[in-house]
Amino acid sequence: QVQLVESGGGVVQPGGSLRLSCAASGFTFSSYGMHWVRQAPGKGLEWVAFIRHDGSNQYYADSVKGRFTISRDTSKNTLYLQMNSLRDEDTAVYYCAKARTGNGNWFDPWGQGTLVTVSS
Amino acid sequence: DIQMTQSPSSVSASVGDRVSITCRASQGISSWLAWYQQKPGKAPKLLIYGASSLQSGVPSRFSGSGSGTDFTLTISSLQPEDFATYYCQQANNFPLTFGPGTKVDIK
């Protein structure tokens, strides 16, 4: 079955960098767009970024544009989120999610999430 | 950006009750709307997409309706496993946006 496993979260100081990974299995990774969605502690869901199945286009939330970069490695079936210039407000659980179909914008399924804490 | 609102923000209900949650978009999104269920400490789960299409494996007591700016998620007979927070999400254009959530808890 489809499985998404995030890793790379942790504690980082403001202004620092972190790279999240999402290992995908159980489906043809190269055929689907992929998303990152985050959730601050006790808060709602915020979409972060999307990359098309072939990596040809990326889209970002305004709150992370210019600081975060989404990428993918088809040879490793892995999605990435490079996060630079981190701020306190980036503290959240970060989920990767597969597009339900093709490059669609429904999220299914989701990984279990990885916690990023930005704190001095 | 398209803003999503939900009402109510929370609802207390009993097992067997019919529960409806509404979602409103700040501009028309046709049927580009999804509903997700999230339980504490867990990742969200897709319930409904395209405003009214039931995701595979989701019980038929869940249904969605609406188009344009106004949408509804209905649980026809609330079960113990349905106590959770529900989010709507618009997929009409980027940036994709979620509603603030509706918590369904036990009366």
DSSP conformation letters of B29-93: -TT-EEEEEE-TTS--EEEEETTTEEPTT--TTEEEEEETTEEEEEESS--GGG-EEEEEEE-SS
- Mean pLDDT (chain A) is 97
Name the amino acid, one letter, at B66: G
CB atoms B55 and A47 under 8 Å:
no
Which string of DSSP letters, residue by residue, matches A45-79?
EEEEEEE-TTSS-EEE-TTTTTTEEEEEEGGGTEE
Show the tokens assigned to B78. Answer: 């609330």
State mean pLDDT over A3-21: 98
**Other C-beta atoms lying within 10 Å of the C-beta of residue B26:** 13
Residue A9's Cα: distance from chain center in Å? 11
Show the tokens assigned to B66. Answer: 């609406």
CB atoms A107 and B45 under 8 Å:
no
How far is the alpha carbon of A111 from chain B, nearest alpha carbon, in Å?
Answer: 7
**Chain A / chain B CB contacts < 8 angstroms:** 59
The answer to whether residue B46 neighbours chain A at the CB level (below 8 Å) is: yes
Q: What is the 3-state secondary structure (H, E, C) of A86-117?
A: CCHHHCEEEEEEEECCCCCCCEEEECCCEEEE
* 3-state secondary structure (DSSP) of residue A19: strand
State mean pLDDT over A58-86: 98
Q: For chain A, which residues lie within 8 Å of any Cβ of chain B, measuring from their own Cβ?
A: 35, 37, 44-47, 50, 59-62, 95, 100, 104-113
The answer to whether residue B14 neighbours chain A at the CB level (below 8 Å) is: no
Q: What is the DSSP letter of A85?
A: S
pLDDT at B106: 86
Return contacts of B64-67, CB within 8 angstroms, 24+ apart: B64/B33, B64/B35, B66/B23, B66/B33, B67/B30, B67/B31
The answer to whether residue B87 neighbours chain A at the CB level (below 8 Å) is: yes
Cβ atoms of A91 and A41 closer than 8 Å: yes
Residue B21's Cα: distance from chain center in Å? 7
CA-nearest of A9, A106, A23, A44 to B45 is A106
CB atoms B95 and A47 under 8 Å:
yes
The answer to whether residue B32 neighbours chain A at the CB level (below 8 Å) is: yes
pLDDT at B64: 98
pLDDT at B57: 97
CB atoms B101 and A45 under 8 Å:
yes
pLDDT at B67: 98
Q: How far is CA A102 from CA A13, A31, A79, A99, B35, in A?
A: 37, 6, 16, 6, 19
* 3-state secondary structure (DSSP) of residue B26: coil
CB atoms B44 and A112 under 8 Å:
no
State mean pLDDT over A36-51: 98
How far is the alpha carbon of A93 from chain B, nearest alpha carbon, in Å?
Answer: 10
State mean pLDDT over B42-55: 98
Nearest to A45 among B46, B49, B98 (CB): B98
- Mean pLDDT (chain B) is 97
